[in-house]
């Protein structure tokens, strides 16, 4: 037997019987099931509060062990083992060690001092770039996981069902059928007030105080945090009489009524606000947005500013009915009203969700109305229970990781200077970090606004605050968070250029940009020409073409194959011919030209060698993969690798020489015999 065969025989392992796998899996499943059973029994015995405290303590101890205790243990044990079990060559003077390695320049094995090889590796630009790319890739992957945890940890799956239930309870579908002031008052009395105020509560709330009892809505699941307000924006009567017949002027800031009147829109009086004023007197006073804690509202027709004439509904169904009767008697809503908004804040403790509700009715000068509803929900008490603790840990780790990544970007800009901004991927990374910084700013604003709003809700008297600003900042936070997550995922496409099989995709995009710069202006000219034509023909007849923006969206959907032909077929021959010409030109000429440009660029990239990426990119990918594999295994020093290779080769040569000597000795013995 040869030496290699003898070594392989020694390395054979003992194979266990087949039934050992069955026993092992049985033990694993039994331990999981028994542990889960004991958890359920303990949770039933402890109750909800104690179980949540135990979960919080478990997660906290787990993170403490994983992030602090275990790394310190590994470092301490590794230090002890390295001191006790080090080999003899660890104490050698490595500057005098010569090793044999394969030289790519000479294409053969040569000898060199070990310190010279290590110095070359330190100065190798490819290895430096590979290490930096590897670190950036790992940090980006960790950041992506943390952003997913934050995104999906704050999006409650019951939010959609909650909003649907609130709309049904408040009768939003009935609001869409309101077309006159009398019907609007009827909706407020018979539907909205009945849903928001409940005078006959069951025995389960008999132990509550009168103020607490009156804050429940009629379904006994929601809780009114503040007073319900009905706010209106109107135009000045003097502008109406000067410019058009009564009620015939559209709303704008130039014609907005900002005066203060006595009930019944009688003579003007001095605008002042005091808490001693009655709700009826206050309803005829134009209040600024800061005092009503309202923000701008984008309706179906235009943008409306905050503030306005506000009617604060009292707590209690009977008093609210009396106030609405007085408002209707004094013609609070009339032909000069252009917008009526109902605002309220609800809290659902069973799911820990705060909901801001806005129900709007836009009144048009020629009669009729447009209704709309906006509901926003979020958790203002975010860090409650085990899930809240997990969200807090994720946010803290994300903040620390963002600081590390931003500091690395700053160092790269300092080293490379203006050359750093020459890459499109660098600009993509800067945009991603800008979104993350915006998230941090919105997070701070949201926290401060939440604390201030909750304190004002507790201490409010007549004009109570609402959570619209908090919901707006929260919405902006998730917008920036979603944009950062999207840009971070797009940045991983940059790895495609390192792949030998997919590098031509990047070359195709670069090659086709030159021809697409000439194609896109032609496409836009043709597209907008047909869009304006369809808007002129169908803008007064069909809702999808009522504005230029709606016409652009409709024509773009038609270009993708999503369109209802009834919009065109029922509006005469000219509309049919215009749409047929649009579909024929866009689908059969413009889109085919676009596909032809992409195909030609793809074929050119595959044929031309100069458009292929350099071999350095491929070597960089190999080095990145090697670095990632080294993280999964015990990393040895370069000197240890070289010396162990030398020892193994020396032992192999000695074994071969021994075998040759034995064969020669056997032949000599045979010859002598």
Q: Which listed CATH number (1.20.120, 3.40.640, 1.10.260, 1.10.287) goes with 521-610?
A: 1.10.287
| pLDDT tens track for 204-241 | 444 444 444 467 888 888 888 888 889 999 988 765 44
* Long-range contacts, stretch 621-626, CB < 8 angstroms, 24+ apart: 621/495, 621/498, 621/499, 623/126, 623/127, 623/130, 624/130, 624/133, 624/134, 624/137, 624/498
Give CA–CA dist 353/375, Å, rounded. Answer: 12
**pLDDT attached to residue 11:** 44
Which position has the token pair 């940009």?
Answer: 513
Helix (H) or strand (E) holding 236: none
The highest-confidence range among 48-52, 95-99, 609-613, 644-648, by mean pLDDT, is 48-52
Strands 286-287 and 308-312: antiparallel
| pLDDT tens track for 422-466 | 888 888 889 999 999 999 999 999 888 888 887 777 666 556 566
Sequence-ordered list of residues with C-beta below 8 angstroms from that of 111, at least 6 positions apart, any chain: 98, 99, 100
How many other C-beta atoms lie within 10 A of the C-beta of residue 155? Answer: 11
| pLDDT tens track for 360-397 | 999 887 777 889 999 998 888 877 777 777 888 888 88
Sequence-ordered list of residues with C-beta below 8 angstroms from that of 326, at least 6 positions apart, any chain: 263, 280
Taking the CA atoms of residue 574, residue 580, residue 582 and residue 587 in that order, the dihedral angle to the nearest 10 degrees is 180
Give CA–CA dist 467/343, Å, rounded. Answer: 10
**pLDDT attached to residue 213:** 47
Task: Identify the three-state secondary structure at position 374.
Answer: strand
Q: What percent of the chain has pLDDT over 90?
A: 10
Per-residue pLDDT at 480 exceeds 90? yes
Task: Identify the three-state secondary structure at position 248.
Answer: coil
In angstroms, the first-to-last Cα distance of the chain is 24
Q: For residue 9, give both structure tokens.
A: 């025989």
Give CA–CA dist 26/23, Å, rounded. Answer: 5
Give CA–CA dist 314/436, Å, rounded. Answer: 43
Domain map of the chain by residue range? Answer: 19-83, 86-118+636-673, 159-378, 385-493, 521-610
Question: What is the length of the chain?
Answer: 673
Give CA–CA dist 148/210, Å, rounded. Answer: 44
How many other C-beta atoms lie within 10 A of the C-beta of residue 567? Answer: 19
- Mean pLDDT, the chain, integer: 77
**pLDDT attached to residue 417:** 84
How many other C-beta atoms lie within 10 A of the C-beta of residue 196? Answer: 23
Q: 430 exposed, middle or buried (CB, 10 Å; 0-12, 13-18, 19+)? A: middle
**pLDDT attached to residue 436:** 92
Per-residue pLDDT at 306 exceeds 80? yes
Sequence-ordered list of residues with C-beta below 8 angstroms from that of 424, at least 6 positions apart, any chain: none
The highest-confidence range among 53-67, 119-133, 159-173, 415-429, by mean pLDDT, is 159-173
How many other C-beta atoms lie within 10 A of the C-beta of residue 290? Answer: 9
| pLDDT tens track for 564-602 | 777 777 887 888 888 888 888 887 788 788 888 888 877
Per-residue pLDDT at 488 exceeds 50? yes
311, 230 Cβ separation under 8 angstroms: yes
How much is the pTM?
0.68
Q: How far is CA 325 from the centre of its chain?
A: 47
Task: Identify the three-state secondary structure at position 368.
Answer: coil
| pLDDT tens track for 515-553 | 778 788 888 888 889 888 888 888 888 888 888 888 888
Identify the CA nearest to 235 among candidates 252, 259, 256. 256
Q: For residue 415, give both structure tokens.
A: 């080293």
**pLDDT attached to residue 121:** 66
**pLDDT attached to residue 2:** 43
Task: Identify the three-state secondary structure at position 180.
Answer: coil
**pLDDT attached to residue 31:** 86
Give CA–CA dist 541/571, Å, rounded. Answer: 8
Task: Identify the three-state secondary structure at position 341.
Answer: strand
Give CA–CA dist 215/205, Å, rounded. Answer: 12
What angle in degrees, to the nearest 10, is found between the helix axes of 385-416 and 424-459?
A: 140
12 versus 360: the higher-pLDDT residue is 360
Identify the CA nearest to 350 among candidates 512, 476, 161. 161
Which position has the token pair 């001095």?
Answer: 270
589 versus 106: the higher-pLDDT residue is 589
226 versus 627: the higher-pLDDT residue is 226
DSSP code, position 268: B
Give CA–CA dist 185/232, Å, rounded. Answer: 13
DSSP bridge partners of 110? 101
Identify the CA nearest to 331 among candidates 277, 269, 263, 282. 263
How many other C-beta atoms lie within 10 A of the C-beta of residue 359? Answer: 22
């Amino acid at each position: 037997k040869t030496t290699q065969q003898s070594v392989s025989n020694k390395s054979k392992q003992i194979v266990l019987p087949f039934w050992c796998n069955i026993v092992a899996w049985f033990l694993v499943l039994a331990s999981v099931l028994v542990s889960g059973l004991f958890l359920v029994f303990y949770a039933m015995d402890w109750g909800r509060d104690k179980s949540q405290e135990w979960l919080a303590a478990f997660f906290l101890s787990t993170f403490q062990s994983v992030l602090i205790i275990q790394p310190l243990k590994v470092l301490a044990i590794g230090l002890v083992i390295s001191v006790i079990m080090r080999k003899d060559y660890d104490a050698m003077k490595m500057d005098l060690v010569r090793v044999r390695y394969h030289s790519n320049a000479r294409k053969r094995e040569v000898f060199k001092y070990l310190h010279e090889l290590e110095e070359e590796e330190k100065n190798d630009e490819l290895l430096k770039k590979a290490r930096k790319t590897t670190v950036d890739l790992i940090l980006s992957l960790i950041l992506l996981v943390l952003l997913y945890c934050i995104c999906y940890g704050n999006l409650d799956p019951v939010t959609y069902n909650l909003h649907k239930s609130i709309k049904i309870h408040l009768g939003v579908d009935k609001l869409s059928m309101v077309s006159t002031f009398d019907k609007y008052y009827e909706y407020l009395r018979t539907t909205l007030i009945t849903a928001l105020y409940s005078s006959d509560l069951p025995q389960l709330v008999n132990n509550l105080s009168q103020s607490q009892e009156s804050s429940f809505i009629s379904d006994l699941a929601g809780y009114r945090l503040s007073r319900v307000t009905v706010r209106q924006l109107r135009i000045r009567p003097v502008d109406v009489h000067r410019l058009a017949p009564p009620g015939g002027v559209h709303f704008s800031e130039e014609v907005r009524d900002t005066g203060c009147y006595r009930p019944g829109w009688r003579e003007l009086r001095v605008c002042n606000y005091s808490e001693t004023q009655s709700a009826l007197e206050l309803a005829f006073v134009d209040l600024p947005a800061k005092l009503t804690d309202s923000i701008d509202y984008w309706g179906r027709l235009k943008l409306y500013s905050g503030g306005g004439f506000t009617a604060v509904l009292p707590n209690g169904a009977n008093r609210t009915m009396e106030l609405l009767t007085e408002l209707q008697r004094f013609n609070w809503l009339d032909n000069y009203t252009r917008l009526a908004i109902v605002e309220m804040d609800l809290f659902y403790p069973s799911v820990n969700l705060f909901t801001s509700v806005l129900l709007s009715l836009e009144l048009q000068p020629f009669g009729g109305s447009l209704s709309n509803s906006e509901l926003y929900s979020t958790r203002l008490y975010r860090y409650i229970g085990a899930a809240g603790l997990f969200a807090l840990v994720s946010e803290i780790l994300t903040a620390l990781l963002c600081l590390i990544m931003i500091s690395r970007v700053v160092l790269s800009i300092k080293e490379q200077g203006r050359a750093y901004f020459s890459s499109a991927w660098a600009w993509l990374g800067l945009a991603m970090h800008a979104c993350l910084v915006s998230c941090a700013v919105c997070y701070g604003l949201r926290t401060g606004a939440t604390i201030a709003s909750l304190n004002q809700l507790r201490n409010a008297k007549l004009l109570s605050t609402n959570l619209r600003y908090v919901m707006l900042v929260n919405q902006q936070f998730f917008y920036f968070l979603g944009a950062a997550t999207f840009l971070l995922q797009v940045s991983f496409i940059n790895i495609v250029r390192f792949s030998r099989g997919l590098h031509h995709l990047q070359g195709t995009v670069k090659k086709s940009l030159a021809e697409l710069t000439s194609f896109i202006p032609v496409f836009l000219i043709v597209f907008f020409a047909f869009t304006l034509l369809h808007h002129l023909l169908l803008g007064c007849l069909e809702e999808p073409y009522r504005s230029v923006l709606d016409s652009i969206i409709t024509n773009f959907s038609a270009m993708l194959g999503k369109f209802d032909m009834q919009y065109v077929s029922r509006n005469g021959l000219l509309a049919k011919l215009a749409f047929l010409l649009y579909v024929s030109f866009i689908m059969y000429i413009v889109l085919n030209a676009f596909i032809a440009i992409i195909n030609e660029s793809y074929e050119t990239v595959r044929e031309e060698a100069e458009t292929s990426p350099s071999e350095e990119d491929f070597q960089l990918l190999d080095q990145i993969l090697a670095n990632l594999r080294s993280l999964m295994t015990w990393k040895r020093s370069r000197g240890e690798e070289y010396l162990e290779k030398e020892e193994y080769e020396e032992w192999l040569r000695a074994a071969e020489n021994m075998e040759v000597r034995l064969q020669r000795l056997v032949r000599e013995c045979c010859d002598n015999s």
